[in-house]
Amino acid sequence: MKKQLLVSAMGLALTVSALAQGTTGQTSVSTSSIGNTWNALKESPLSLSIAIESDTTRNEETKKIDGVTQVNAAYLGYKFSPNDSMTLENDYNFVKQQNTDASYSYDRINLGYSRKNILTEADHGVAMKATVDVRYRPQGSVRVATNSYGQARVSANFSKNIGPVSLSMTNYYARPQRINTADTKTTSTWEHYLVQTYNITDTLGLSLAQDIVMRNNPGNEGELKTADLYLDLGKSLTPDFSIGAFVSGSPVASKDRWVTTPDWEKSENLTYAAYLSLTVF
């Protein structure tokens, strides 16, 4: 469904471009009307963007790539002020592996409020943005498996630019909205996401990212400690359309302790992915 939305949005952009070449008076009026509407949307407080990411999956026994997981996300935003905004996110996932039927899932609905420029580089040496969001899991089976309707999350992002280098750190805390409040095995999550980007050109960047996740609960069961590494190359083709690819591995994937994963850096243990993002308006 989101693929169709992406194609429709790109088709609309191409249609507007084609109409702009019309020579008749009627076409000029239509082109002007469409152009005015499009410009009004782009200048309005509303925004719409789409992101698609495809990751490889591997057979647990052979370690060979055997399929793909695709996440399709649509973001509808509203800006209250230059610094305050809300975003509604909908994720729809697709999974296809060898010898299995393709599966589709409506993964999550996320509503978030963000405030940026709490700190600024000009005044404080570092920029800060904070977000509060609520997530709902539409699938009943997932709610049962996780003992939660979703989660509430707060996060703070800090960023700084040093010449061609951009640094970013986002700290998250997520607490589940438990179905059975007496279940002590339901985990809360701390996550720290760090990114270092070297901007090769104004439109091309090479990034190294570290994603550290800790899930804990009062029952000390089903807990998790992971650390993932990402090497990413991203390219902006236009101000509204970007593509990229990355490779990732998991140096740490354990439960109660920080334990290094053997041979995590070998090719058969890595994930390869490609992505694109489009700002519709």
**The three-state (H, E, C) secondary structure of 248-266, written as one string:** EEEEEEECCCCCECCCCCC
Residues 252, 151, single domain; the answer is yes
194 and 153 co-located in one domain: yes
- Give the pLDDT score at 99: 86
pLDDT recorded at residue 28: 58
Tokens of 76: 């509808």
Over the chain (281 residues), the average pLDDT of each successive run of 10 is: 37 36 51 79 93 95 93 98 98 93 94 99 98 96 93 98 98 95 88 98 98 86 89 98 98 86 93 97 94
**The two three-digit tokens of residue 202, written as one number:** 């104004």
Same domain? For 225 and 187 the reply is yes
Same domain, 117 and 255: yes
Instruction: Give me the domain span that covers residue 240.
Output: 47-279
Q: How far apart are CA 9 and CA 73, in angstroms?
A: 14
> Which residue carries 């020579």 as its tokens?
23
Statement to judge: residues 87 and 16 lie in one domain: no
Q: Do 61 and 5 share a domain, yes or no?
A: no
256 and 146 within one domain? yes
Task: Say whether both 195 and 115 belong to one domain.
Answer: yes
Q: What pLDDT shows up at residue 9?
A: 35
DSSP 271: E
| Predicted local confidence at residue 279, as pLDDT | 96
Helices of type H across the chain: 2-19, 25-43, 121-124, 140-146
In the chain, the number of structural domains is: 2
Do 268 and 189 share a structural domain?
Answer: yes
- Listed in sequence order, the residues at least 6 apart from 194 whose beta carbon sits closer than 8 Å to its beta carbon are 168, 169, 170, 209, 210, 212
Instruction: Please indicate, yes or no, whether residues 140 and 86 belong to a single structural domain of this protein.
Output: yes
Whether 24 and 109 share a structural domain: no
- pTM, to two decimals: 0.84
pLDDT given at position 4: 40
What is the amino acid identity at position 232? D
CA–CA dist 168, 228 (Å, integer) = 16
| pLDDT for the residue 258 | 85
d(CA 278, CA 155): 24
Residue 36 and residue 58 in one domain: no
Separation in Å, CA 126 to CA 157, 160, 162? 10, 5, 11
* CATH number of the domain within which 150 lies: 2.40.160.40
